[in-house]
């Protein structure tokens, strides 16, 4: 069973690489958000607890998240391995996770802050179809207009610079300490840690990740 944890700031390219790794090794890509939504839709006991917390506007606590992870990894599709993305989010969650699941490999995608801001703030979305463009990397044929419907594109509020910089600040405060946690002598005995330069072309980053995993 191969357990991979992918770390990186918002916009570092985790989603793109996670999708490829999941397909390549035929293992499920487990994101915190997807797991929460799955439990709610199943209306399991855990899901009802999650629904209650979310409807009250609260945050799902670490203990409940570990219960959800434990429930998810017991399913048949995880028997050969899994890829974690978006959990753990902090040292406390990592310590709790370590009690129920051994992470074999941690890969962190390193991208400079200004590049993250550029990647996210440049996104433009056609809401109805979900098509995503980027003003620099994947521009529409006509500025601010969907290629197919010709309808206007949206610059989502959570893609605007002040929001992005706030998300990065939270990441630095809460999630970056995970990098130190997984490099402690205790964790290094059972978990391999790798840092990958995420500033390069997507295919180059993928090739390096594959070389690590093999």
Residues marked as catalytic: 14, 89, 123, 156, 167
DSSP-derived letter for residue 86 is S
d(CA 181, CA 90): 9
Burial of 115 (0-12, 13-18, 19+ CB in 10 A): middle
Give the residues across from 8 on adjacent strands: 109
Report the C-alpha gap between 13 and 21 in whole angstroms: 12
E strand residue ranges, 20-134 = 29-31, 81-85, 105-110, 123-126, 131-134
Q: What's the rounded Cα separation, in Å, for the pair 139 and 10?
A: 21
């Amino acid at each position: 069973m191969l357990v991979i944890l992918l770390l990186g700031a918002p916009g570092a390219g985790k989603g793109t690489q996670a999708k490829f790794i999941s397909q390549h090794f035929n293992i499920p890509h487990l994101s915190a958000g997807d797991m929460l939504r799955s439990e709610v839709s199943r209306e399991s006991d855990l899901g009802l607890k999650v629904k209650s917390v979310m409807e009250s506007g609260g945050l799902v606590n670490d203990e409940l998240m570990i219960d959800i992870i434990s429930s998810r990894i017991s399913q048949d599709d995880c028997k050969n391995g899994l890829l974690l993305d978006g959990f753990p989010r902090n040292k406390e969650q990592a310590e709790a996770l370590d009690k129920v699941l051994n992470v074999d490999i941690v890969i962190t995608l390193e991208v400079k802050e200004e590049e993250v801001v550029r990647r996210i703030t440049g996104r433009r979305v056609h809401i109805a179809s979900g098509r995503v463009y980027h003003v620099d990397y994947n521009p529409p044929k006509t500025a601010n207009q969907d290629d197919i419907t010709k309808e206007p594109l949206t610059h989502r509020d959570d893609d605007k610079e002040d929001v992005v910089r706030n998300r990065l600040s939270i990441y630095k405060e809460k999630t970056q300490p995970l990098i130190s946690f997984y490099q402690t002598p205790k964790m290094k005995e059972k978990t391999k840690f790798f840092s990958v330069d995420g500033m390069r072309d997507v295919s180059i980053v993928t090739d390096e990740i594959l070389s690590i995993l093999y």
